[in-house]
Amino acid sequence: MEVCGDLNSDNLKNRPLTPLRILRGLMILLVFVATAFMFLLYFAPIAALGLRLLSVHQSRRVISLIFGLWLALWPYLFETVNGTTVLFSGDIIPVEKRVLLIANHRTEVDWMYLWNIALRKGCLGYIKYVLKSSLMRLPIFGWGFHVLEFIPVERKREVDEPVLLQMLSSFKDPQEPLWLALFPEGTDFTEEKCKRSQKFAAEVGLPALSNVLLPKTRGFGVCLEVLHNSLDAVYDLTIAYKPRCPSFMDNVFGTDPSELKDKLLSDFNAQGQFPNQRPEEELSVLKCIATFAGVQMRSGGIADSATVFTLQNSCPYTVWPGTLSGNSVTLGDGGFTLTPGASVQLTAPTGWSGRFWARTGCNFDASGHGTCVTGDCGGVLKCTGGGVPPATLAEFTVGSSNAGMDFYDVSLVDGYNVKMGIKPQGGFGNCKYAGCVSDINEICPSELRIMDPNSGSIAACKSACAAFNSPEFCCTGAHATPQTCSPTYYSSMFKNACPSAYSYAYDDASSTFTCTGSNYLITFCPTQS
């Protein structure tokens, strides 16, 4: 999407802010806010509360109609009344009903310009956002966000992930239109934030980006985990503004947005190359042949399309594994007993996502009720939800097709209770061992310790977030981005002990692994990697 002229022009200036233009801008704001009050406070509750008692599907259809009628005011007011010219170039985007839309975040009005695209694709009323939970408390608009089923996040992984899984599971019907938009950067771009982002990138060995902040990946990953079987497309939109990033009032009074990717494509068509174009290393013929053979085996049915997880207990004591699925397929009934030296195989279909963890110090009666010292999941043997931190986690997202790529990691973000390792078996690609083979309980600081009430020994080691609940440890508030949430003394201690495990919320670069066509051995208390 491109607006008004050459992106690189030095002659672009804001149009003079005359009294007439100020009056016009204020009138546009008044119309927009007043109609929001009418639609969201009067009409929407009837559909949201009344029809929802009869049919969730019909309620959403009516709300989408009402929402779409109101949202259409924005493109009309700013393109027609305010005189903004919008030009589309590059690839023609087909009309898709179910889309995951990701975009960079330059200013506080970016999300409104997504409406211009959704309107032209006939899905304006079905657009939803993953947004900061604080916005859900805004007067008038906050109520509307609840009615429209926007997804609130605290930018705190252990809080946000259950909310995302719960709300996204209600949007899995492939027959219901959905445009789900999120901003992986998590905050709007500023020069100061960019400098912090570049500093963080240098510390962890990531590329230094000049025009975007390092993105958060977990929210996007969870959206794909839950919705991938029902999505038609994933769109990646890059937004730029000229001659500078505008505020909301700048847009009201006439500063223009433009779409950078389309400009790059237009320049490519004219010049035949992208800026700073250079060749990459040549592809290995042997690797290509090996990969092709593997894909053929998977897609031809030679290899089983299901993924087998083997859970093996190498601990000198009994553990009670818990399982949590991100979709409808529950593995191992949610939980079971695993004695020393025993192993169990669980089979997951393509597209499965979830986690495994070990519970320790459990005492269950014949009906499967009881308690565990660590990893307890509601006092039952067969878990129906996640375990109580601290607990070491093995997390998986299985590929959605026979030749799809699996993602896996061992996480200490929720703390540590037992050693754990993940070893791919029989796959191809970058199939590395992930795990924590060090006993963190032995080095756990006193302020993080969980003691076993029966033996008096250290049973688990809490995360600093769980222990202190402060933004710098939880990556929330002013520390809610990869640039502002750096490794702490405690997360560095975890990372030094277990280099291939997640140590804090933004430890993606060295802790997430991929493999294709593999089964997996998950070992509790491994002795080596």
Query: What digits encode the pLDDT tens for the residues 433-446?
Result: 999 999 999 999 99
Q: What is the pLDDT of residue 174?
A: 81
pLDDT band at 18 (very low <50, low <70, confident <90, very high): low
CA distances for 36 relative to 63, 144, 201, 392, 487, angstroms: 13, 8, 41, 46, 42
Q: Is 459 strand, coil or helix? A: strand
- Total count of residues recorded for the chain: 529
The b-or-e profile of 268-278 (16+ CB within 10 A means b, else e) is eeeeeeeeeee
Q: Which has the closest alpha carbon to 95: 232, 190, 222? A: 232
Write the secondary structure of 62-97 as one string of H (helix), E (strand) and C (coil).
HHHHHHHHHHCHHHHHHHHHCCCCCECCCCCCCCCC
Return the amino acid letter for 471.
Answer: P
Q: Kindly state the tokens that stand for 178.
A: 């959905």
Nearby residues of 109 by Cβ (< 8 Å), 6 or more positions away: 246, 247, 248, 251
Write the DSSP symbol of residue 256.
E
State whether residue 126 is helix, strand or coil: helix
- Determine the average pLDDT of the residues in 221-229: 83
Give one DSSP letter per residue of 352-418, joined into a string: -EEEEEEEBS-EE-TTSBEE-SBS--SSBSS-SSPPPSS--EEEEE--SSTTPEEEEEEE-TT-BSS
Rounded-to-integer distance, Cα 310 and Cα 368, Å: 23
Residue 167 has pLDDT above 80, yes or no: yes
The structure tokens listed for 318 are 């009994």
List the Cα angle 284/285/287 in 5-degree steps: 65
Please tell me the distance from the alpha carbon of residue 164 to that of residue 154, in angstroms, as a whole number: 11
As given in the structure block, the two tokens for residue 352 are 């499965």
Q: For 90, what's the count of Cα atoms within 13 Å in the CB-facing half-sphere?
A: 17
User: pLDDT band at residue 53, thresholds of 50, 70 and 90?
Assistant: low
Confidence class for position 328, pLDDT limits 50, 70, 90: low
User: What pLDDT does 351 receive?
Assistant: 84
Of the two residues 379 and 5, the one the predictor is more confident about is 379
Say what the pTM is. 0.48
- Dist CA 371 CA 264 (whole Å): 59
What structural domains and CATH numbers belong to the chain? 19-271 (no CATH), 306-524 (2.60.110.10)
Non-local (6+) Cβ contacts of 272 within 8 A are none
Residue 241 has pLDDT above 80, yes or no: no
pLDDT digits (tens, 9 = 90+) for 338-354: 999 999 999 998 888 89
pLDDT score, position 189: 76
Question: Angle at the Cα of 412 (from 409 to 417), degrees rounded to 5?
Answer: 115
Task: Out of 145-154, 190-199, 252-261, pick the least confident.
Answer: 252-261
Which has the higher per-residue pLDDT, 51 or 168?
168
Residue 359 near residue 321 (C-beta atoms within 8 A) = yes
Bridge pairing between strands 320-325 and 343-348: unpaired
Distance, CA of 319 to CA of 324 (rounded, Å): 16
Q: Is residue 151 pLDDT above 70, yes or no?
A: yes
Which helix (DSSP H) or strand (DSSP E) does residue 191 occupy?
A: helix 191-204
Stretch 432-459: mean pLDDT: 92
DSSP 8-state assignment for residue 48: I
- Strand, helix or coil at 457? coil
Rounded alpha-carbon distances, angstroms, from residue 495 to 21, 48, 377, 513: 56, 47, 26, 16
Query: Cis (ω within 30 of 0) for the bond into 177?
Result: no
